[in-house]
Amino acid sequence: MTLFRLDASILPATSASRSLGDLVESEWTAAHPDDIVVRRDLAAEPVSATVWQDAVTAGFAPEADRTEEQRAAQALARAFADELIDADALLFTVPLYNYGVSQHFKTWFDVAYTDPRIDPQGTALQGKPATLVTVLGGNYAPGTPKEGWDHSTAWLRRVLEDVWGLDLRVVQRPFTLVGVNPALDAFADVAADLRAAAEDAARVAGRELAESLQAA
């Protein structure tokens, strides 16, 4: 079996989302020690913003008239879709940036989404087990001063769970900037509790991801 893992953090060495993803992956590999993990790192290999435009416009041009850029964009979209379709389970680690969706992840999704197998009519990913790990620098939970400022998690759930139809588990860790931003020092104890809870949730999600395939 194969686990496909996609990382979107631009700071790999200190990434909270990647660290939680490592916990999910460790549970997977414990249950599937001889299986494959396929990785795509959007920080190491970012997708150019022009690729989506080329992939979309290629669909409106006769094959013989497509530019080299359009052909390359379609090939990349097929490669992205192949990684998703060929995997038995999926793991996405995607931080919140500037209150919104990571541009690296959004561009990757937009390009992949041009492949007809996983476009609005495609069903190739329906029911596939997946885990989304997402982290937030602040805390935007109900009752907090910035409630509603997280404009990423709901969108991620929408496209992964509702559009692609994945059997999705979500692990979220708020307050990752506590200890980094002095203005948040007063929340150190709360942040420590949230981190511990997220790490526990990541381990559970990893076990459930592995067990979902064993039961299939």
pLDDT digits (tens, 9 = 90+) for 32-90: 999 999 999 999 999 999 999 999 999 999 999 999 999 999 999 999 999 999 999 99
Q: Minimal CA–CA distance to 178: which of 191, 168, 166, 167?
A: 191
Q: How much is the pTM?
A: 0.95
Q: What is the maximum span of the chain, computed from C-alpha positions, in angstroms?
A: 62
Q: What is the pLDDT of residue 25?
A: 98
- In angstroms, the CA 38 to CA 1 distance is 11
DSSP-assigned beta bridge partners for residue 167:
129
What is the structure's pLDDT at 180?
A: 94
Buried b / exposed e across 9-31, counting CB within 10 Å, b at 16+? beeeeebbbbbbbebbbebbeeb
pLDDT, residue 123, reads: 86
How far does Cα 128 stand from its chain's mean position? 14
Q: How far is CA 140 from its chain centroid?
A: 20
